[in-house]
Amino acid sequence: QVRLVESGGGSVQAGGSLRLSCATSGYTYSRACMGWFRQAPGKEREGVAAVDTTSGATATYYADSVKGRFTISQDNAKNTMYLQMNSLKPEDTAMYYCALINPAMCDGGTWYRGLAYRGQGTQVTVSS
């Protein structure tokens, strides 16, 4: 059974940093397409970042809104994925979800539409 458990959310001031973690189990972690999505109240869900290791090599993808500020990474030994978020802005406020992405959609142009399974989420609130 696939299990994704997020942690690390919280409240910070604009310009601050947070690191989200996603503990995973129940599938072949080292060969998967995974990512972070977010959803703010009244807004559509947005793909934030993805990491693709399905081929054995690693590729990462980011939403334009977070490029240069957020970094997605993995620790295969711990079966854990991370999202380092720097220079946070009030518009980054949302519930953040760790997700498995459909491998068939895991490329630079479609990853953000390929959410297949997600965790319960962790709240990030950025105040101005």
User: What confidence score (pLDDT) does residue 32 get?
Assistant: 87
42 pLDDT more than 90 = yes
Token pair in block for residue 113:
């539409």
User: What confidence score (pLDDT) does residue 56 get?
Assistant: 85
User: What confidence score (pLDDT) does residue 95 get?
Assistant: 98
54-78, pLDDT tens digit by residue?
888 999 999 999 999 999 999 989 9
73-119, pLDDT tens digit by residue?
999 899 999 999 999 999 999 999 999 999 999 998 899 999 999 99
80 vs 78: CA distance, rounded Å:
5
